[in-house]
């Protein structure tokens, strides 16, 4: 099946699921800006740690080759 078709079907399922959830929970306004900033900074921190770890591992392997 074409990738674009699969993505369109998955997107429609996602939109339908969000619609049903919003109908059930009317009091939920979503995350505040501060919460989103904290989550994004945490993800950036995790990504930074992964980059450092992968870079160190690759550098160690390169040093073993030469």
Give whole-number Cα distances, 34 to 19, 27, 41, 43, in Å: 25, 19, 11, 14
Asked if residue 65 and residue 44 are part of one domain, the reply reads yes
**Do residue 3 and residue 17 come from a single domain?**
yes
Pair (61, 36) in one structural domain: yes
Same domain, 54 and 41: yes
Residue 30's region, left for phi above 0, alpha for psi from -120 to 50, else beta, is left
Q: Please indicate, yes or no, whether residues 5 and 22 belong to a single structural domain of this protein.
A: yes
Residue 18: pLDDT band by 50, 70, 90 thresholds?
Answer: confident
Domain extent at residue 11: 1-30
Is the pLDDT higher at 58 or at 3? 58
Task: Assess whether 38 and 63 both reside in one domain.
Answer: yes
38 shares a domain with 62: yes
Mean of pLDDT over the chain? 85
Query: Is 66:58 a contact under the CB 8 Å cutoff?
Result: no
The total of structural domains in the chain comes to 2
């Amino acid at each position: 099946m074409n990738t674009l078709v699969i993505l369109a079907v998955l997107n429609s399922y996602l939109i339908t699921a969000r619609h049903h959830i919003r109908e059930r929970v009317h009091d939920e306004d979503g995350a505040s800006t501060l919460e989103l900033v904290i989550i994004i900074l945490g993800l950036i921190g995790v990504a930074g740690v992964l980059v450092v770890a992968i870079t160190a591992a690759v550098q160690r392997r390169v040093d073993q080759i030469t």
